[in-house]
C-alpha cells in the first residue's frame, strides 16, 4: 500500500488512470467554472467591488475566511452568507466530475479510484502526523506548516499538504528565505522553494486580489511576502499565548549565494572528547523541517530553535 501523500489528481496520474495532459485540461475546466465567494457575491449584487477588495485586503493580513470578514464588517448578513455558500457549493465542479465531463475517465473508474485513494491517503497522512508528533516540542513547526498551507491557498490559490517531516535543515532549493524572531521563544523560520514553485507563487499573487501589493513582483518579493505573512501570524499566536516576540527583517538567498555565516546544519565549533556525540546530537535537534507537496512540485518549511 502506498505511503506517499498525494493530491487526487497526482494519484490518478501515478496509477495510470489519466494522463498529465488530461489532468491539466480538467483543472483548467475547473478554474473556468468555479467562482470564489467574492465573485458570487458580486454576481448577486450583495456586495460592491470596493467591499470585496476591502475583504480581500484584510484576508492578506489576518487568518480569516472571506465570509467571516464580510459578516464582521457588516457587508453581508449571516443569512446572506449561508445562501452564497450554498449556491457556491451547488455550482462547484470537483476534479472527478471535470475529468468525467472531459471524457478522461468513467464514473465507475472514478468511484473505485476514490475508494482506493482515500484508503491509501489516510494511512500516508497518519504516518506523517505520527512523525510530526514524535518531534521534541513540535508546536511551532506544526503551526508554521498549517499557516503556510492556509496562506498559500488564500493569497495565491495554491493548495498544499504535509508530506514529510525531518529533524534536519530543509534542503536549499531554487531560493529560500529566513526570518529570525527573538524574544521569549526565539526561532528562525525558513521557507525553501524551487524556481518553478516560485514562479507559480508569483503568478498566483499577481492574479489574486487578496495580495496587498500588485504588479512588478519578482521571485524574491513573492518569497518575502509569504515569509512575512506566515511569520506574522505565528508571532500573533505567540503574543496571544503571552510570549514577547521580536521579529527581524527577512533575508533571501539563492543557490550559490554565500550568506557569510556558518552552515546552521553543522556545529559552529569543533566538538571533541566524551561530549562530542551528545553535543552533535543536541545541535542537530535545533532543526525541524516539513515538506509540503503542491499540485505542481513541493516546498520545505523549516524551523530552527536555539539549543537548550
CATH code of 225's domain: 3.40.1550.10
Among 122, 156, 186, residue at a domain's last position: 122
Same structural domain, 110 and 146: no
Same structural domain, 116 and 148: no
Per-residue pLDDT of the chain (308 residues; tens, 9 = 90+): 446 999 999 999 999 999 999 999 999 998 888 888 999 999 999 999 999 999 988 877 777 889 999 999 999 999 999 999 999 999 899 999 999 999 999 999 999 999 999 999 999 999 999 999 999 889 999 999 999 999 888 878 889 999 999 999 888 888 999 999 999 999 999 999 988 888 888 887 776 555 444 455 688 888 998 999 999 999 999 999 999 999 999 999 887 664 444 344 443 444 444 444 544 444 445 899 999 999 888 999 999 988 76
Same structural domain, 44 and 172: no
E strands, the chain, are 161-166, 175-183, 187-193, 245-247, 251-254, 287-293, 298-304
Among 99, 122, 145, residue at a domain's last position: 122
Q: Which is nearest to 167 in space by CA: 304, 278, 306, 275?
A: 304
Q: How far apart are CA 164 and CA 289, in angstroms?
A: 8
Question: Contact 166/295 with Cβ under 8 angstroms?
Answer: no
| Domain limits for position 14 | 8-122
Residue 2 falls inside a structural domain: no
DSSP string, 16-33: TSS-HHHHHHHHHHHHHH
Same structural domain, 70 and 193: no
Residue 13 falls inside a structural domain: yes
pTM given for the model: 0.77
Residue 51 falls inside a structural domain: yes
Same structural domain, 203 and 294: yes
Amino acid at each position: 500500500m502506498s505511503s506517499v501523500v498525494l493530491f487526487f489528481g497526482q494519484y490518478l496520474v501515478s496509477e495510470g488512470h489519466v494522463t498529465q495532459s488530461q489532468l491539466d485540461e480538467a483543472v483548467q475546466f475547473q478554474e473556468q467554472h468555479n467562482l470564489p465567494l467574492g465573485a458570487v457575491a458580486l454576481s448577486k449584487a450583495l456586495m460592491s467591488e470596493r467591499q470585496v477588495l476591502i475583504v480581500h485586503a484584510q484576508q492578506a493580513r489576518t487568518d480569516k475566511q472571506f465570509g467571516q470578514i464580510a459578516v464582521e464588517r457588516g457587508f453581508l448578513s449571516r443569512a446572506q452568507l449561508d445562501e452564497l455558500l450554498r449556491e457556491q457549493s451547488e455550482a462547484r465542479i470537483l476534479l472527478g466530475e471535470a475529468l468525467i465531463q472531459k471524457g478522461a475517465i468513467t464514473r465507475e473508474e472514478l468511484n473505485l479510484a476514490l475508494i482506493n485513494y482515500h484508503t491509501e491517503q489516510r494511512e500516508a497522512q497518519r504516518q506523517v502526523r505520527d512523525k510530526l508528533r514524535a518531534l521534541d516540542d513540535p508546536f511551532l513547526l506544526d503551526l508554521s506548516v498549517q499557516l503556510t498551507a492556509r496562506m498559500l491557498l488564500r493569497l495565491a490559490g495554491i493548495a498544499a499538504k504535509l508530506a514529510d517531516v525531518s529533524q534536519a535543515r530543509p534542503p536549499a532549493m531554487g531560493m529560500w528565505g529566513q526570518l529570525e524572531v527573538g524574544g521569549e521563544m526565539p526561532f528562525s523560520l525558513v521557507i525553501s522553494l524551487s524556481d518553478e514553485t516560485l514562479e507559480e507563487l508569483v503568478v498566483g499573487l499577481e492574479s489574486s486580489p487578496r495580495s496587498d501589493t500588485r504588479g512588478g513582483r519578482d521571485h524574491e518579493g513573492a518569497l518575502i511576502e509569504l515569509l512575512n505573512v506566515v511569520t506574522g501570524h505565528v508571532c500573533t499566536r505567540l503574543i496571544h499565548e503571552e510570549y514577547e516576540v521580536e521579529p527581524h527583517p527577512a533575508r533571501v538567498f539563492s543557490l550559490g549565494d554565500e550568506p557569510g555565516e556558518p552552515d546552521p546544519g553543522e556545529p559552529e565549533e569543533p566538538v571533541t572528547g566524551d561530549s562530542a556525540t551528545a553535543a552533535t546530537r543536541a545541535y542537530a535537534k535545533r532543526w525541524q523541517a516539513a515538506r509540503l507537496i503542491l499540485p505542481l512540485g513541493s516546498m520545505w518549511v523549516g524551523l530552527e530553535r536555539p539549543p537548550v
